Chain A
């Protein structure tokens, strides 16, 4: 095993175990992308093969068919306690990306998850975000408290000195736990190779294009690429100057700002 990856893995497993010990009712979020699949795998390793909490998949109903196929196959093979969060009410009322990307994401992702948290009383959610994904994610900590509206105050976060992850005061609705925050995109792929993890076929190039980040069908575009194997993907990432989420039109920060500017009358 690669020493460096071993260190990353150790740290992640420690965070996951710590979360399980500190919270009564945790769960892990799984989009079926490489990061969350690696995180679910780390959860499996942390508890010797059987994850002792549910795995949540948020289904917007606008995802690629490959995502649903992959989800169902792996959930069965890995014996996951899979919960699917879906905002049926919003879908019935016709919510779609055409109504606005931010509005759609809020209804089909955020609200779906909010409802599930409320219903199942989850107090901690394990998420596969990484600091190198986006500027705002670089400000995240391993333990990130959220209020009932999912608001996050990055200026008021618990200190994480000497890798001690302490549950702050009771002043939060649920805790976000980020076990792979310190990983990079390349390291995740190297880990996928090392652990021989299953990979969603959307990541592999077909007709000169592949998906580098997986989201909903209307809001995700492939990047030009010829990388049709994991080794080629690793090679491509080593030399790429394109941001990982370049193919994701759903930039929440941008969409939020657009909404604010509209409200102020700029647009």
Chain B
């Protein structure tokens, strides 16, 4: 199974930029109504464990929060590989650098171009690692934060966002035939605040088989993934 975990991939933007590969046979919006805030780490930790962990994850220390493999659906697979997954294998150094630049931009100490360069560099590094793992594990889960980071800084610039969504769509194209089961999922969406972006509740999911889900909760994928693991063990 392949899980493409795309931070801040927004349902409306996927449609707007006609991302055909991201919109697999089944696709739609996730239901985040159980969460007070659409926080990245909380949502990914909840996705991994199938439990709403909002109350357990304090804002200040959220980036360092980690769940154990036995708490997650990863335990159902004989072999698995996760790349940069928040609350699990998050590349602390890379993301600390990104957040530092983000803060720097808002404090007039960094430029948008400088911020973009770092996040694209990290994206390419993760992408290379992710593509090299295809076909080698029962489950591969790769996390990419391009749409989140660039979205926060430049959501109002359609050209830049088109470039981001095009890149993520290409990534989906590269993995679509690499496994029988491909799940694309985002933690939350993104909405415009003038030229910037703010987390929205338009989270996105897509699966390469028809499931007939209606507004699934991000925690409800746990069972689906478990079933896939059991059936193909």
Inter-subunit contact B39/A264 (CB<8 Å)? yes
Is B126 among interface residues, defined by CB-CB distance under 8 A?
no
When chains A and B are docked, how far (Å) is the Cα of A136 from the Cα of B38?
25
Q: Report if A267-B156 is in contact (Cβ < 8 Å); known contacts: A253-B193, A253-B196, A260-B193.
A: no
Please name all residues of chain A whose beta carbon is closer than 8 Å to the beta carbon of B39 when the two chains form the complex. Answer: 264-265
Contact residue among A253, A258, A263, A265 (Cβ-Cβ distance under 8 Å from B63): A265
Q: Which of B41, B193, B194, B199 has most chain A Cβ within 10 Å?
A: B194
B25 within 8 A of A: no
Partner of B37, one of A136, A257, A258, A264: A264
Seed contacts A257-B196, A261-B102, A261-B152; 20 additional CB < 8 Å A-B pairs: A135-B156, A135-B194, A135-B195, A253-B193, A253-B194, A253-B196, A254-B196, A257-B152, A257-B194, A260-B193, A263-B37, A264-B38, A264-B59, A264-B199, A265-B39, A265-B41, A265-B59, A265-B60, A266-B99, A267-B102
Write the residues of chain B forming the contact surface with A, with a CB cutoff of 8 angstroms.
37-41, 59-60, 62-63, 99, 102-103, 106, 152, 156, 193-196, 198-199
Inter-chain contacts of B194 with A (CB < 8 A): 135-136, 253, 257
List 28 A–B pairs whose Cβ atoms lie within 8 Å, in order of A's numbering: A135-B156, A136-B195, A253-B193, A253-B194, A253-B195, A253-B196, A254-B106, A257-B193, A257-B194, A257-B196, A258-B106, A260-B198, A261-B102, A261-B106, A261-B152, A263-B37, A263-B59, A264-B38, A264-B59, A265-B41, A265-B59, A265-B62, A265-B63, A266-B99, A266-B102, A266-B103, A267-B103, A267-B106
Q: Does A256 contact B (CB under 8 A)?
A: yes
Please, which residues of chain A bring their CB within 8 A of the CB of B63? 265
Look across to chain A and name the residue whose beta carbon is closest to the beta carbon of B188: A264
Q: Which of A239-267 contact B (CB under 8 A)?
A: 253-254, 256-258, 260-261, 263-267
By a CB distance below 8 angstroms, the chain B residues around A256 are: 193
Least CB distance from B115 to A in Å reads 12
Main SS at interface, chain A: helix
| Chain A, Cβ-Cβ closest to B63 | A265
Question: What's the interface size class on A, roughly?
Answer: 10 to 19
Interface membership of chain A positions 218-241, coded 1 if the CB is closer than 8 angstroms to chain B and 0 otherwise? 000000000000000000000000
Interface of B, helix, strand, loop or mixed by DSSP:
mixed
Q: How far is the CA of A257 from the CA of B60 in the complex (A)?
A: 18
A135, A257, A258, A266: residue with the most chain B Cβ atoms closer than 10 Å: A266
User: A58 to B106, alpha carbons, bound, how many Å?
Assistant: 27
- Please name the 6 residue pairs, one residue from A and one from B, whose CB atoms are nearest each other, closest first: A253-B194, A257-B196, A265-B59, A258-B106, A267-B103, A136-B194
Distance of A253 Cα from B198 Cα, bound (Å): 11
Question: In the complex, what residue of chain A is closest to B195 when comparing beta carbons?
Answer: A135
* CB of B146, distance to nearest CB on chain A (Å): 16
How many angstroms from the CA of A157 to the CA of B153 in the assembled complex?
A: 26
Q: Among the interface residues A136, A260, A264, A267, which one has the most CB atoms of the partner chain B within 10 A?
A: A264
CA distance A245 to B196 in the complex (A): 18
- Complex-state Cα separation, A73 to B155, whole angstroms: 45
| A256 CA / B195 CA spacing, docked (Å) | 12
A259 (CB) vs chain B CBs: closest residue? B106
Minimal Cβ-Cβ distance residue in B for A265: B59
Contacts of A136 in B (CB 8 A): 194-195
A267 touches B99 (CB 8 A): yes
Determine the chain A residues whose CB is within 8 A of the CB of B102 once the complex forms. 261, 266-267
The 8 A CB mask of A175-203 against B (1 = contact, 0 = none) is 00000000000000000000000000000
A266 to B86 CA separation, bound complex (whole angstroms): 14
What is the CA–CA distance of A267 and B107 in the complex, to the nearest angstrom? 11
CB B66 to nearest CB in A, in angstroms, measures 16
Who on chain A is nearest to B38 by CB?
A264
A263 to B60 alpha-carbon distance, docked (Å): 10
Write out the residue numbers on chain A whose beta carbons fall within 8 Å of the beta carbon of B62. 265
Chain A residues near B37 (CB, 8 Å)? 263-264
Question: Which chain A positions have C-beta within 8 A of B59?
Answer: 263-265
Q: B29 to nearest A CB, angstroms?
A: 19
Q: Which residues from chain B contact A260 at a C-beta distance below 8 Å? A: 193, 198
Q: Which residues of B contact A253 (CB under 8 A)?
A: 193-196
Q: Which residues of A contact B195 (CB under 8 A)?
A: 135-136, 253
- Provide the residues of chain A in CB contact with B152, threshold 8 Å: 257, 261, 266
Q: Which residues of A contact B156 (CB under 8 A)?
A: 135
Q: Report Cα–Cα, A267/B101, bound state, in Å.
A: 10
